[in-house]
């Protein structure tokens, strides 16, 4: 028998354990249906780990993360930066990919949204180099390198090539002329040299925020820096109906981490009403990514099966969580998805 895929699971804080439990229940169903050879290892990471060990990611947890094929991560609380940034930078997961689309049956601010935000994931102010100087002056270091710009641009162009062949570079080079200027120019240079069939345009971040609400249909693939991408993707999730629907991928050359973009939502933790869609779609994406990377057709098929079951459940509208206008519990919604898996 082949060696099983090792998936590291970080349950997270707040609603994290609830939505992760939902995703793992879905995984158990498709494991049987598609004979998946997967081992799940839960590790300690997040607020509880920080309180217990003094580290948001203890050394043993980090060892397991580095040895895994992929990571499935739930939302983390106050220690989110210590967890997420360490994994992204430590494993060089340089591409943060966040789709935003309106699903059938979901009431959204706009109905005609189908875009992907491709966000550089290892640089910008997220290197967390901050310094407090005398006279109460705080300085944050921002790093933008041509290498990072070029490789995230390639991901954006490759993504657009499979879609509507349109890339929008979002920046603020009129103010940050060197750092954002380097980002913008690198994307345009790569597009001209390697992707002549793809249309490339540009927008300032403030204008992009406005258009994401006013006319989101103009966007196909947005490529941007780390901070701008973080802001835009949360807004895009709101425009499409609920941040509880938004899955994301952090992808490098060898490994990847999949997670919902929403936070730990401590205000509803333990109430059984959290929307697990983003967590379940993150699992679906993980399986499809592993299937493609490992040339495993069963893994890819299982990922698609989960995605289809989620979309069908949303479209029927019979079992929706409160954030989607329904009255179903997390468990009821999850059971509805499971019931649609062959």
Point out the residues that are catalytic. 126, 172, 206, 230, 234
Rounded Cα gap, residues 196 and 321, in angstroms: 45
Query: Across-strand partners of 97?
Result: 118, 249
The 8 Å CB, 24+ separation contacts for 161-165 are: 161/195, 161/197, 161/198, 163/116, 163/220, 163/221, 164/220, 165/197, 165/198, 165/199, 165/220
Give 323-328 contacts, CB < 8 A, sequence gap 24+.
Answer: 323/242, 323/244, 323/275, 324/106, 324/107, 324/241, 324/242, 324/244, 324/275, 325/107
CB atoms closer than 10 angstroms to residue 129 = 11
Query: What distance in Å separates the CA atoms of residue 261 and residue 21, rounded to the nearest whole number?
Result: 17
Go through the chain and tell me how many residues it has. Answer: 342
Gap between the Cα atoms of 310 and 184, Å rounded: 37
Beta strands in the chain (DSSP E): 5-10, 38-42, 70-73, 95-101, 114-120, 130-133, 137-140, 166-171, 199-204, 221-224, 247-251, 256-260
Q: From CA 57, how far away is CA 63, in angstroms rounded?
A: 10
Cross-strand bridge partners of residue 203? 170
Given a contact cutoff of 8 angstroms between Cβ atoms, the answer to whether 157 and 190 are in contact is yes
Can you read off the two tokens belonging to residue 272? 């059984």
């Amino acid at each position: 028998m082949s060696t099983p895929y090792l998936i590291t699971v970080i349950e997270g804080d707040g609603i994290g354990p609830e939505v992760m439990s939902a995703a793992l229940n879905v995984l158990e169903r498709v494991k049987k249906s598609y004979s998946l050879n997967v081992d799940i290892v839960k590790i300690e990471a997040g607020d509880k780990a920080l309180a217990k060990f003094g580290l948001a990611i203890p050394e043993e947890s980090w060892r397991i993360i580095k040895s895994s094929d992929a990571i499935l991560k739930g939302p983390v609380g106050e220690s989110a930066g210590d967890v997420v940034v360490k994994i992204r930078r430590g494993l060089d997961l340089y591409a943060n990919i966040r789709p935003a689309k309106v699903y059938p049956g979901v009431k959204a601010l706009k109905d005609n949204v189908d875009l992907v935000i491709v966000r550089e994931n290892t640089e910008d102010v997220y290197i967390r180099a901050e310094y407090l100087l005398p006279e109460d002056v705080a300085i944050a270091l921002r790093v933008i390198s041509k290498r990072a710009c070029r490789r995230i641009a390639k991901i954006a162009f490759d993504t657009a090539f499979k879609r509507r062949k349109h890339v929008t570079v979002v920046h603020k080079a009129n103010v940050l002329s060197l750092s954002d200027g380097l980002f913008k120019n690198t994307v345009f240079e790569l597009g001209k040299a390697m992707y002549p069939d793809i249309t490339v345009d540009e927008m300032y971040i403030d204008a992009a925020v406005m258009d994401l609400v006013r006319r989101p249909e103009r966007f196909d693939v947005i490529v941007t820096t780390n901070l701008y991408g973080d802001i835009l993707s949360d807004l895009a999730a709101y425009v499409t109906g609920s941040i509880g629907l938004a899955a994301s991928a952090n992808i490098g050359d060898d490994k990847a981490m999949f997670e919902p973009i929403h936070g730990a939502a401590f205000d509803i933790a333990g109430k059984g009403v959290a929307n697990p869609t983003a967590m379940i779609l993150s699992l679906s994406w993980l399986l499809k990514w592993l299937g493609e990377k490992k040339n495993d057709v069963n893994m890819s098929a299982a990922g698609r099966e989960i995605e289809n079951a989620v979309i069908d459940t949303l479209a029927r509208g019979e079992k929706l969580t409160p954030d989607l206008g329904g009255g179903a519990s997390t468990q009821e919604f999850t059971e509805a998805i499971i019931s649609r898996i062959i």
